[in-house]
Structure 1
Amino acid sequence: MGCNCNNTHDSDYDAGCVCNVVSFIHELQECASPTPSLYYDIPFLDSHYETKIANTRPFVLFTKSGNPFEAYVPSITTNCKSSIFRVENIDDSCYAVLQPLIVVTNREEDANPNPICTYLTRPDAVLHATSSYITVDLTCFCGIQCLRDIYIPNC
């Protein structure tokens, strides 16, 4: 049995909704191309006004308590956690390999204790890949928030 946060409701709740969204994001990233599609029925990643063609749709996962999920990452600041992720792989059982991303402003890692806020409010904020990966059971999350599509080198 999964750790689904909505298992006591009598509605038509889809226990795999977060899994479905992450699966769709993974498909978008796998189909990312340096040239936009000419077909309007094929979804694609949209680039930010100052980025190259996007290859990543970053997102934040929310726990049962409503807090952003965090993973530990190597850091040059005292903030050695990240709540922003890129999906690297996902299987049919809703297990996913995620890569934590860090926020960078002015070519330095953001030291703000709330890097999500920095990324959302500063147009010059960019995300960089870390060398960390985490495997998660996506049925354990109650929410997901997608952030603006971006280009991350070597992805």
Structure 2
Amino acid sequence: MGYEDIENFDHNKESSSHNHDNNCGCNLSCVCNVVRAIKDIQDEAVEDECLTCTTNCFTEPLGDLSSPSRERADTRVFTLTNKDGELFKALFKGHHGKCVSVFFRVEDVFDNCCATLRVLIPLNKDKEVVKLFEHGRLDYDALCSVRRWAASNSCITVDLHCFCAIQCIADCDLDICE
């Protein structure tokens, strides 16, 4: 699914009642459409010619966001921003108090923009788990030290209408079985 397909995507998949702005000024189908596109791109994960724009969530195929050279990738890592402007966070199991992440992989999109997201474990360049939150607050220095991710066994189901922004971070190979 290319960017040009997204312009018509919400007319094909969503009812018009979900395209209006909500009380925070967010288009209710915007984040949903991007997550659907990411899911489609992850599902296809095939080799294709290199693209010059490497910062767009709609860039196809996987492997273009993290570096200009083609590499094997099965996941587009992204963050979601709540309507209050904060990064959405979720728990993953253990790692000695380092169990909160703001990084996700889409596993499924269903019904009226519900999605199952896998919580990704943030790792530094040495593949050590990064503790992103200190005393309940996001540590931006720690966030900036994240260079890799690992798949956790923790998933969360969310209503994509509850988010105002999505930011694609990188493409990586998590060796996800599909």
Structure-1-length-normalised TM-score: 0.79
Equivalent position of 2:36 in the other structure: 23
Give how far 1:38 is off.
5.1
Higher helix share: 2
| C-alpha contact 1:112 1:118 (8 A) present in aligned 2 | no
Structure-2-length-normalised TM-score: 0.69
Find out whether 1:110 has 2:125 as its counterpart.
no
Could you report, residue by residue, the CA deviation over 1:101-148 in whole angstroms, capped at 9, with x for unpaired residues? Answer: 0112213212343453222xxxxx210000001000000111111101
Q: 1:79 to 1:64 in 2, by over 3 A?
A: same
Equivalent position of 1:137 in the other structure: 159
Give how far 1:154 is off.
2.5
Could you report, residue by residue, the CA deviation over 1:85-105 in whole angstroms, capped at 9, with x for unpaired residues? Answer: 000000141000000001122
Cα-Cα RMSD: 2.8
* Count of matched residue pairs: 142
Find out whether 1:62 has 2:81 as its counterpart.
yes
Give how far 1:63 is off.
0.6
Match of 1:87 among 90, 106, 109: 106
Equivalent position of 2:56 in the other structure: none
Unaligned runs of 5+ in 1: 120-124
| C-alpha contact 2:80 2:163 (8 A) present in aligned 1 | yes
Name the SS for the 2:131 alignment partner: coil
Unaligned runs of 5+ in 2: 1-16, 52-58, 134-138
Name the SS for the 2:153 alignment partner: coil
| C-alpha contact 1:51 1:150 (8 A) present in aligned 2 | no
Equivalent position of 1:8 in the other structure: 23
Higher strand share: 2
